[in-house]
Amino acid sequence: MLERIEETAAFLREKMHTSPETAIILGTGLGSLANEITEKYEIKYEDIPNFPVSTVEGHSGKLIFGKLGNKDIMAMQGRFHYYEGYSMKEVTFPVRVMKELGIKTLFVSNASGGTNPDFEIGDLMIITDHINYFPEHPLRGKNLYGDRFPDMSEAYSKELIGKALVIAKEKGIKVQQGIYIGTQGPTFETPAEYKLFHILGADAVGMSTVPEVIVANHCKIKVFGISVITDLGVEGKIVEVSHEEVQLAADAAQPKMTTIMRELINRA
């Protein structure tokens, strides 16, 4: 595993014109933040040794290097999911490569279903904590980096959350805060499952993010996460949902998310 991580990192170093310390993972329907990146150069996942390939509509499958404002960044336009058939080591492989490349801060985004009755479709939720509901833990197996039993008491940086709240207030953008629960998918939740997850303490549910954040913390990479609420699992508000509708809702919320992420990355 470590040899493959180092091989991939070595390949990317030869292609890189900069040495970014900031990385972004863009989820379903949220890839347009990449349009804000200047001086960029792109590498398709399929051209990167040992990299998985994204199979989900709305995930472009490109690694992008360039500038976002005044910061050199590395961005994943599309991620990998457990439900695609990948192991947790494959899902989180890019984060380990980021560690090798010197990334210090990771920004993650996703589309999720709201379980909090105060939420509405199109809301942005700053992730304050998460619940790991996946059947496989991403750190299972040989310990590659850091502590065998890493601390997760601040999985999402309180400092970055505070700065994001200030930016949202300055820009007049409504934001929610809450706990994200990650499940394996690929089905959307039943009404009973939505209810269960809310009882467990989750404000939103999705099929990604948690494994990447766990590995980032293990690698001592600081994390900020944000969810776009694209459907609701709240009693009385549950309607039939499709991946296409999720993408549309995410697309509509992109300008607000882009503003917060761009400003936060430049102030981080």
SS (H, E, C) 150-206: CCCCCCCCHHHHHHHHHHHHHHCCCEEEEEEEECCCCCCCCHHHHHHHHHHCCCEEE
The tens digit of pLDDT for each residue in 10-68 reads 999 998 888 999 999 987 656 677 888 888 999 999 999 999 876 655 446 889 999 98
> pLDDT band for position 241 (50/70/90)?
low
pTM of the model: 0.92
Calculate mean pLDDT across residues 92-111.
Answer: 95
Tens digit of each residue's pLDDT (9 = 90 or more) over 173-186: 999 999 999 999 89
- At position 123, the amino acid (one-letter code) is D
Residue 146: pLDDT band (50, 70, 90) is confident
The amino acid sitting at 113 is: G
pLDDT for residue 74 is more than 90 = yes
Per-residue pLDDT at 59: 47
% residues pLDDT > 90 (the chain): 64
Is 196's pLDDT higher than 50? yes
Token code pair at residue 46: 């399929």
How far is Cα 234 from Cα 226, in angstroms, rounded to an integer? 20
What is the reported pLDDT for 239?
58
Q: How many CB atoms lie within 10 A of CB 7?
A: 14
